[in-house]
Amino acid sequence: MSGGNQYVVAAYAVIWFLVLAYVVMLGARTARVGRQVEAISRMLDRRAAESDTPEGDDG
């Protein structure tokens, strides 16, 4: 019985597909963290701009 090639291919394809899908999910999470970092740095920029204009105080 050696006509089972398609099953072996299917089994390993499923393994690869699901592991990759998992990694993509991890990547999506990293992307979310990246967006949060951007938000924080925008907030910091805004804050720096606000504290710059009235006082001109930088330290």
Name the site residues for other proteins (rule: CB under 8 A). Answer: 1-2, 4-5, 7-8, 10-12, 14-15, 18-19, 22-23, 26, 29-30, 33, 36-37, 40, 43-44
Q: How far is the CB of 39 from other proteins (least distance, A)?
A: 8
What is the C-alpha separation between 14 and 39, in angstroms, rounded? 37
End-to-end Cα, the chain, rounded Å: 78
Q: How far is the CB of 47 from other proteins (least distance, A)?
A: 8
* SS3 label, residue 32: helix
Alpha carbons within 13 angstroms on the beta-carbon side of residue 33 total: 6
Residue number, 1 or 53, with CB nearest to other proteins? 1
